[in-house]
A and B are shown apart, each in its own frame.
Chain A
Amino acid sequence: MLDRTSDGVPPRFERPSLFVWVVILVFLAFFIQGFTQAGISVDRLVRGTSNLGRFLGMAFPPSTARLDVIARAMLETLNMAVVGVTFGVILSLPMALLCARNTTPHPIVRLIAVNIVATLRTIPDLIWALIFVVAVGLGPLAGILAIIMDTIGFCARFFSERIEETNPKPGMALRAAGASRSAVVAGAILPECFPSFVATSLFSVEKAVRSAVVLGLVGAGGIGVELTSAMNLFRYNEALTIILSILVVVIAVEQVAGAIRRRVI
């Protein structure tokens, strides 16, 4: 029989380390503080539910009066997403080549490029939109610029990670046959990455459609503009129509993008 006290058999339970205790404590402190700060009470929840009921009562049935305006705004939203992502992807490609360890011309260039991309990614799209509304004024152009920034932050990072994962051997073979560095990138690295680039770009389109909807809330064009004005004017039945159409369009875009992705990969 095995000796239970013999070393080698790990214990069933190990006492958490001091570090784990500290993490748990800090989390609990934040949680309790946040819970009390939010002022959650049964009374407010009940009142909130009845308000929600009133909103739904006013929203039903959804209004079809301004369907043409809503459709045009929705088209503008999709346009913003497609144009923004297209430019974003085009700009992401050189950025990703500068960011990837195996294609960057110099480690310092890589460091700079990686940090630029990280900054683009860290700033939320809504803030980009606020900045661009100040810069170029209200309307879809601000939204498109915000989506371009957001797309570079997302795509350049995933593109560069895929580039770093490429099998070095075909590229080495081309180099052994006298190919230049740029020819190796174009001949061996990019073809291998292409399916993944398409998949990432399609994710980016899905993301951009969702954010294009929201960008209108700060005046950067698209369906969001219609939604805020409907809400502010208490036209809840029109707001419901807009919300339902957003739901339909976002799901449709996700389905189409998913279908294309399955084809490519």
Chain B
Amino acid sequence: MDVSVRQLAKTFPDGTRVLEAVDFSIASGEGVVLLGANGCGKSTLLRCMLGLEKITAGDIVIDDVSIGHARRSDLRRLRSRVGSVFQQFNLVGNLSVHQNVMFGRLGTHGLMGALSLTASTETRDKAMHCLDRVGLAHLAKRRTDTLSGGQQQRVAIARMLMQEAGIVFADEPVASLDPRAGREVMDLLFDIVRERGLTVVCVLHQIDLARAYANRIIGLKSGRIVVDGAPNDLTDDAIADLYEADRTRAEKESKEAEDARSNLRRSAASF
């Protein structure tokens, strides 16, 4: 599935401009990593691409469906073909692992077709296959919130597999995991993506992971695209520059703290 973002702008109701004139397209099968400092608009961009956030100006077209103009039912149909992986896994904690995987079919098969009690044998078997692919078939009966973070993210990947999605949006999929579990999850995710020829848009904070897994890196800064290219074409300086604004802000903050401290010292001296 291909994505085309056209002159996208997003302003929050309080007037904050999060995205401005964002323009790029992603070909089917491309593996794109979005980089940028906190608050640069990466996650908002992903949410806009899912139609979970209203677009202020411009448009996003995924597989010939215009997110800005789609009807609710079209949007739902499109979403059911978009697999999502989130930082916090976003599984239903007190249900079984198997049930959570079957929820991947809510979009296409409806509630009755995805609930353990009423789902078809085919759906139930398929969920086991998906769990087997991520190496967790033996935990199918377990309550999801008893699993480790890395395991829960694998369950989320199995749920995405269940959807038979053509594209994967991953929002900081390893930010809550330790480095080893993070590597394993990234390996699993990109193995699946490559073997099925899926398109990926993955928000990351780890530059080394971005270089290791992406075919293409897009860097956002203050809601605009400032970097776009293959990992090998991007210098470390260009990537470091993405976080520059943050660094000046951090310096300003530490200077303010220093001022406050010296003020305190001065007033203490006067006693």
Chain A contact residues, CB within 8 Å of chain B: 1-3, 6, 169-170, 172-180, 182-183, 186-188, 191-192, 194-195
Partner of A176, one of B82, B95, B111: B82
Partner of A177, one of B79, B88, B92: B79
Chain B positions 206-224 with a Cβ under 8 Å from a chain A Cβ:
none
Partner of B84, one of A177, A180, A187: A177
CA of A1 to CA of B107, assembled, Å? 70
Chain B contact residues, CB within 8 Å of chain A: 50, 52, 76-84, 86, 88, 90-95, 103-104, 106-108, 110-111, 114-115, 156, 159, 163, 169, 271
CA of A59 to CA of B184, assembled, Å? 76
Query: Quick one: closest A residue to B81, CB to CB?
Result: A178
CA of A178 to CA of B169, assembled, Å? 14
How many A-B pairs have beta carbons closer than 8 Å: the answer is: 82
The interface residues of chain A lying within 8 Å CB-to-CB of B159 are 173, 177
The interface residues of chain A lying within 8 Å CB-to-CB of B104 are 177
CA of A170 to CA of B104, assembled, Å? 12
The interface residues of chain B lying within 8 Å CB-to-CB of A179 are 76, 103, 106-107, 111
Q: A183 to B110, Cβ gap below 8 A? A: yes
Describe A's contact surface by its main secondary structure: helix
CA of A12 to CA of B77, assembled, Å? 65
The interface residues of chain A lying within 8 Å CB-to-CB of B82 are 176-178
Q: A178 to B114, Cβ gap below 8 A? A: no
Q: Which 5 A-B pairs have the closest CB atoms?
A: A178-B107, A178-B80, A173-B90, A179-B106, A178-B79
The interface residues of chain B lying within 8 Å CB-to-CB of A183 are 106, 110-111, 114
The interface residues of chain B lying within 8 Å CB-to-CB of A187 are 92, 103, 106, 111, 114-115
CA of A177 to CA of B159, assembled, Å? 9
CA of A116 to CA of B90, assembled, Å? 34
CA of A107 to CA of B169, assembled, Å? 32
How many Å from the CB of A118 to the closest CB on chain B? 30
CA of A2 to CA of B156, assembled, Å? 58
Query: Quick one: closest B residue to A187, CB to CB?
Result: B103
Given A177-B159, A183-B111, the answer on whether A169 and B94 have CB atoms closer than 8 Å is no
Q: A170 to B90, Cβ gap below 8 A? A: yes
How many Å from the CB of B159 to the closest CB on chain A? 7
Q: A172 to B92, Cβ gap below 8 A? A: no
The interface residues of chain A lying within 8 Å CB-to-CB of B156 are 173
CA of A173 to CA of B114, assembled, Å? 15
Q: A173 to B86, Cβ gap below 8 A? A: yes
The interface residues of chain B lying within 8 Å CB-to-CB of A2 are 271
The interface residues of chain A lying within 8 Å CB-to-CB of B86 are 169, 173
Given A169-B86, A176-B79, the answer on whether A191 and B106 have CB atoms closer than 8 Å is no
Q: B106 to A1, Cβ gap below 8 A? A: no
The interface residues of chain A lying within 8 Å CB-to-CB of B88 are 169
